[in-house]
Every structure is written in C-alpha cells, then in structure tokens.
Amino acid sequence: MTGELDDKVASLKKKADEIAPPHPREETWNWNSPRQAKEAFSLIGLQIPDLKRENLSKYEHPLAKAVSEYRDTRSLLSQVCKWAAGRYRDGRVHPQWNPAGAATGRASCTSPNVQSLPKGEGFRGCIRPGEGHVLVKADLSQIELRVLAAIAEDENMLKVFRSGGDIHLNTAEALASRKVKKGDPERQKAKAVNFGLSFGMGAKKFKEMAERDYEVRMTLSEAKEAKHKLLDAYPRIGHWHAREGLECERGNFITETLMGRRRVVEPDYQGKPSFTERLNAPVQGTAADILKLALARLWENWSEHQGALPILTVHDEVVLECAAEDAKVTARWLSGILRGAVEDVLGHPELAGEDAIETTTAPSWEV
DNA sequence: AACCGATGCGCG
DNA sequence: AAAGCGCGCATCGGTT
C-alpha cells in the first residue's frame, strides 16, 4: 500500500513542478516548505495566506490544486509508511499507552499513535486478529452528547435520546432546513457544529464552518442568531454556559467530572479560567471515566473470558480479540459492561439504552 | 547533533 | 460580551 502511495506522490510532485514557475535558486520546489510554496505562488501573482487544504481550494489556478493534492498524499504517506516499522514483536505492534496522557483523563498513545491511524484508506484493515480469531469492537455512541445531556440536565436532549433519536440529525436538519438522512454528509458536518456550539464556539467560527461545510452564507449577526436558535433547542445548554461563565468570573479553575475527578483548567489570555476548557473538561473527562470504568470491569470479569484479548481503545471505542466461536459471547459481555458504565456514571437510564453501544464483529479494524 | 516553535493534519 | 476541546507526528527552519 505504501508502495502505491509512493508512486502517487512522485507523479503528483512531477505534476506540481511542471505547472510551477522555475525555482530561482534550487533545482525543484519543496512543497512541504510553507515558505517555499508561498514564494512559488507569489511568482505567479498569488499571495496566499497559508497552505491549508481549505485555503488552497479557494484558488482557481491549477497549481493550487496540484500542490494541495501533493501535500495531502505526501502527508498520508509520511504518517503511514513508518507507522509500524521496527515496532513489531511476534507479528504485533506494541504502542506505548499513556493511560492518563490527556489532561481530561483520556489515554494517549505513541510509537505509533494507533488512535490516529487514518480511516477509510484501508490502513485499519491491516489490523487483524490471529488465525481463527475475530475482532470484537464496541463504541459508545454519541457519548459526549449523552454526557452533555446529563451534565446540563437538558430535558430536550434527554427526550431525543429517550426516543432513540439522533441529535446530529436534528442539528443537520435545522441547518440545512430540510430532511437529512443518517448517511448524508450533512450529518457528519453537523457533528462538528454540535460539538463546537456545545463547547462554546463563537459566532465567527460558526459562520466560517457553515460557509465551508454547508455553503450557507450569512452575516455575523445572522450567525449569532442561528447559534442562539440551535442553543434554544436545548435551553439548559445555554444555562450551563451561563453558569460556567460565572465560575470563570469568580476565578474558579477547578472542574469535576460526574465521577468527581478534578482538572485544573488553564488560564485564558486575561488570566481567568478558560471558559471553553471549563465547558469541555467535565464532558470529555466524564466520557473518559466511563470508558475506564468499563475497562476496569472488563478486567474484574476477565477470568470468565480469558480467551478475550484487549487490542486497543480510542476514546469511545474498545477493540477485543477472541476466538471466532466466542464472538457472540464476547460481544455481549463487552457491550453489557460498556452500557452498565454509561448508566452508572450518567445516572439516566434513557442515556444507556440499546442504542448507546454499537457493537461489531469483524475480521479487521476497518469499519 | 539536539532541541524548539510554527504549521498542518490524522484521530476522538 | 466573548471563547470548541483533547491528543501525536512529520516537516521546516532556526537556535543552542
């Protein structure tokens, strides 16, 4: 796979070099160097502020597209080509896990970072169980929004979960002003909006996101209005924001998850407790608590499921490996424990329904 | 040679 | 009044 990427990178570089003006000093341009790339664009009369994909896509000139594609592919290759090199033992990759690697209580992972292996490119398909075994994967569906509903005690949000609804779909429909289906790209984009607004994103950023992802153009005041409209759908979220704002004014740097685990947030540019961190920390942190509670209970019960092997976790997801014939039992065990953890920590049965856990059994980590 | 901040992007 | 959050990693270009 990396060999194919290699070829693709080489041809994309050639293409970009052909379109580009000659380099005044070197043989060819280094498109990985923002300074050089900006200089090349400047020679054809384009002053570009940065080399982000999203920015390059605004330009008509073929060089913009060529450079963007080259950088994308090159970046993917870099991330993946050395991913597991020299990190095998017995046919397995053994990353370094840091159980409390993140300030919120999440785990992090290095060498390699398993948690950021790209999706949808086939790389996760390379993560496979041993002969005659399967991977059993379970994830906490929309966990941060469930935590949010519990923390803010928002009746409308709870109602959506109680009826098995989909918050992202609601938001997507509100933004697109039409019916949106589960597989539509609008839903994916609405996730970002939901998270953004929940954790204190401003109208400006919200406006930019709406433009970029929905081709919805609005003035700043219209963006403010839309933001309020979405927050109005869940009034207690707004109240919660107001409460946390007061805590910031009072100089309260301490946040707590629903399990009572503390985090001291960073100061903002004024030296006051960061408002957005105060909002995010208990939510991300409680979700992390839930996953870890579940992991602890898996361990406590492990003697009855010794064939099951923990493979990895990714913040709201647990992957186990077991013998193919044990898949059903293992899947039930895993999802039951995750569901119990959600219910025990959040204290709302409607947040821990059947749909709170999505379980799949597969021959690889891909999808 | 080792380290560092900035930039940009992968994941949740 | 206003404010998305949390990570790791490759690369560049400069400093120690």
In total, chain A counts a number of residues equal to 367
**Is the pLDDT confidence value at A187 over 80?**
no
Contact A315, A288 (CB under 8 A): yes
Q: How far is CA A159 from CA A44, A117, A153, A349, in A?
A: 56, 35, 11, 12
Distances (CA, A) of A17 to A14, A37, A42, A254: 5, 11, 15, 53
More confident residue, A286 or A191: A286
Identify the structural domains of chain A with CATH numbers, from first to last. 2-83 (no CATH), 90-143+289-362 (3.30.70.370), 153-272 (no CATH)
Quickly list H helices, A142-260: 143-152, 155-162, 167-176, 185-198, 203-214, 220-233, 235-249
Question: How confident is the model at residue A325, as a pLDDT?
Answer: 97
Does residue A317 lie within 7 Å of nucleic acid chain B, judged by its CB?
Answer: yes
* Predicted structure pTM score: 0.93
Per-residue confidence (pLDDT) for residue A205, from 0 to 100? 86
Does the CB of A219 fall within 7 Å of any strand C atom?
no
C-alpha span between A103 and A262 (Å, rounded) = 10
Q: What integer pLDDT is reported at residue A215 of this predicted model?
A: 64
Place of tokens 């898949």: A327
Does the pLDDT at position A307 exceed 80? yes
pLDDT of residue A210: 72
| Strand B proximal to A153 Cβ, under 7 A | no
- pLDDT exceeds cutoff 90 at A19: yes
From A37-51, A100-114, A181-195, A282-296, the region with the lowest mean pLDDT: A181-195
**Nucleic chain C: which protein residues 148-207 of A have CB below 7 A from it?**
192, 195-196, 199-205
Per DSSP, A123 falls in state S
Res. A214 pLDDT band, cuts 50 70 90: low
The structure tokens listed for A293 are: 């509670």
Mean pLDDT of A46-55: 91
Asked whether residue A147's C-beta has any atom of DNA/RNA strand B within 7 A, the reply is: no
- Chain segment A71-117, per-residue pLDDT in tens: 999 999 998 888 888 888 888 999 999 999 999 999 999 999 999 99
Average pLDDT, chain A: 91
pLDDT on residue A213: 67
My answer on whether omega of the bond before A112 falls inside 30° of 0, hence cis, is yes
Contact A197, A231 (CB under 8 A): yes
**Do the Cβ atoms of A116 and A95 come closer than 8 Å?**
no
Q: Coil, strand or helix: which one is A92?
A: strand
| A321, pLDDT greater than 80 | yes
Residue A328: band (very low, low, confident or very high) from pLDDT cuts 50, 70, 90: very high
For residue A189, what pLDDT is reported?
66
CA distances from A171 to A128, A209, A226 (A): 36, 14, 11
Q: How many CB atoms lie within 10 A of CB A328?
A: 12
Give strand B nucleotides closer than 7 A to any protein Cβ: 7-12
Q: What is chain A's Cα-based Rg?
A: 23
Residue A340: the pLDDT is 98
Interior angle at CA A316, CA A78 and CA A295, nearest 5: 115
A28 touches strand C (CB under 7 A): no
User: With contact defined as beta carbons under 8 Å apart, do A290 and A143 qualify?
Assistant: yes
pLDDT (0 to 100) of residue A299: 96
Model confidence band, residue A207 (pLDDT cutoffs 50, 70, 90): confident
Indicate yes or no: strand C within 7 A of the C-beta of A227. no
Residue with tokens 């924001």: A241
pLDDT band at A70 (very low <50, low <70, confident <90, very high): very high
From CA A190, how far away is CA A170, in angstroms rounded? 9
CA distance A39 to A118: 31
Q: Distance (Å) from CA A269 to C1' C3? A: 10
Q: Is the CB of A103 under 7 A from strand B?
A: no
Using left for φ > 0, alpha for ψ between -120 and 50, and beta otherwise, residue A315 falls in left
- The bases of strand C with some atom under 7 A from any protein CB are 1-13
* C-alpha–C-alpha distance, residues A235 and A227, integer Å: 12
pLDDT tens-digit series, residues A235-278? 999 999 999 999 999 999 999 999 999 999 999 989 999 999 99
Which pLDDT tens digit goes with each residue over A121-173?
A: 999 999 999 999 999 999 999 999 999 999 999 998 999 899 988 888 887 78
Using DSSP, state whether A222 is helix, strand or coil.
helix
Cβ-based burial of A284 (10 A; exposed 0-12, middle 13-18, buried ≥19) = buried
